[in-house]
Amino acid sequence: MYENLIDTIERSTLSAFASLKDEGDVRAAITHWLYKQDMPFKFRNQELIDFWEESLNKFLHKNNTTLTQLKSNIRFPSHSNKFDFIDLFAGIGGFRLALQAQGGQCIFSSEWDNAAKKTYFQNYGKIPFGDINSFTGEGISEKELDHLIPNHQILAGGFPCQPFSNAGVSARSALGLAHGFECDTQGNLFHSIAKIAYVKQPDVVFMENVRNLISHDSGKTFEVIQNTMENLGDGVDNKHGYKFFYSVINSETVVPQRRVRCFMVCVRKDIWECRGDFIFPDFSGDPIPLREAIKETSPEEADSYTISDKLWQGHINRTQRNIARKTGFTAHVADLERPSNTIVARYGKDGKECLIPQNGKNPRKLTRNECRILFGYPQHFWYPEAKTPAYKQFGNSVVVPVVEKISQGIINYLE
């Protein structure tokens, strides 16, 4: 019924306010408003807010219910407001889950992939706003941005990694396209984070990207990111830069997946001057074997993920050719006593990153639920029924227990 409420308010809004019919974020704004009704974000129109209030009350009265009751079926709502955070490039909410576990309340989220937005809504009851450039792009003044984005203590975001990844760089170079900060679509989205941080001055900016970010363009890209954050407030009254800390972390000691990512924690300099350096938590320990992720999968479910003879033979042929010429990918069945290889967004195409061996038959891909386990999402987390979008969404995600452990370190540091 909660979704029916959103549908009802959206329909009546678009009927009453014709100017909003081409506005793509009405539904997102409604769900954000339903969480915190004093924050209308993009639509700072009192007439509209009054209309939403009236529509909400009519719906609740007609259905003899309350907003609290309607929200009670949301899988992972915010239960605490110990601190406020915003979730940029939100994907399916890995940062959100981790920061909520520390008592945080997500008051703004943004994500441009529609399938990921659906997963986000199914789990958190809130639809992310779309392209962050509509809040930070050219023509948006600092004063306007200050009204569009709510105040918050932590800004979290894994800004799009393709322009910085090894695969992304080689593909774009081969096509003669720009990459890194020269990419007009994804690469410059870090600057959206920097602009929001400059205007809103959160206590901490918490970012994630691929390991190759550090070495991209002989280290120049990473240097730009660090220098931008550290010099953000230079020479401007009441503005601070950020002390920059980073760590390259392998997830294999907290989930059965070898996923190495660069995490950045930027502490506002006036806070850093009082509290000193931020220390990343320790992720040492024994790797978790892949066997732990697949042990509850039934033979019947596993069978439906078995790859075809044609696909398996194609893997074998390409692997032999690539070994002979010492370049390109290889596809071998996984060692169940070690963590899986990194699961990427394209995993659904052929599964070459992690093929599960099976006695007497071709290997199989990971199930969607096994991917959930490899990324540390909770048991009742909703994900798409279709395999391809589920693989894509997990493959683009952070590993939740890694982010949760760092988040715990951030909150302990701030307290």
In this model, does residue 342 exceed pLDDT 90?
A: yes
291-395, which class in CATH?
alpha beta
pLDDT at 172: 40
Tens digits of residue pLDDT in 15-37: 999 888 888 899 999 999 998 76
In this prediction, residue 401 carries a pLDDT of 98
Residues carrying an active site annotation: 161
Mean pLDDT of the chain: 90
**In the beta sheet, which residues pair with residue 84?**
105
Residue 339 has pLDDT above 70, yes or no: yes
Q: What is the pLDDT of residue 110?
A: 96
Residue 332 pLDDT: 82
Q: Check residues 167 and 207 and name the one with the higher pLDDT.
A: 207
pLDDT of residue 161: 63
pLDDT at 221 over 90: no
What is the pLDDT, as a whole number, of residue 19?
87
Comparing 138 with 193, the larger pLDDT belongs to: 193
What's residue 162's pLDDT?
55
Average pLDDT for 217-222: 89
Average pLDDT of the segment spanning 227-249 = 93
Domain residue spans of the chain: 2-71, 83-284+399-414, 291-395
Q: Which CATH class is domain 83-284+399-414?
A: alpha beta
365-377 pLDDT, tens per residue? 999 999 999 999 9
Note the residue count of the chain: 415
pLDDT in tens, 158-190: 987 656 555 555 444 443 444 544 544 444 688
Note the Cα 18 to chain centre separation in Å: 33
pLDDT digits 0-9 by tens, 63-121: 999 999 999 999 999 888 899 999 999 999 999 999 999 999 999 999 999 999 999 99
pLDDT of residue 328: 67
User: Cα–Cα distance between 207 and 227 in angstroms, integer?
Assistant: 15
Where does the pLDDT of residue 41 fall: very low under 50, low under 70, confident under 90, or very high at 90 and above?
low
pLDDT tens digits, 277-332 = 999 999 999 999 999 999 999 999 999 999 999 999 999 998 888 888 877 667 78
CA 164 to chain centre: 16
Question: At 406, is the pLDDT very low, low, confident or very high (cuts 50, 70, 90)?
Answer: very high
Question: Which phi and psi angles does 108 have, rounded to 5°?
Answer: -160, 135
* Residue 80 confidence (pLDDT): 87
Q: Which pTM was predicted?
A: 0.91
| Rg (alpha carbons) of the chain, rounded to whole number | 23
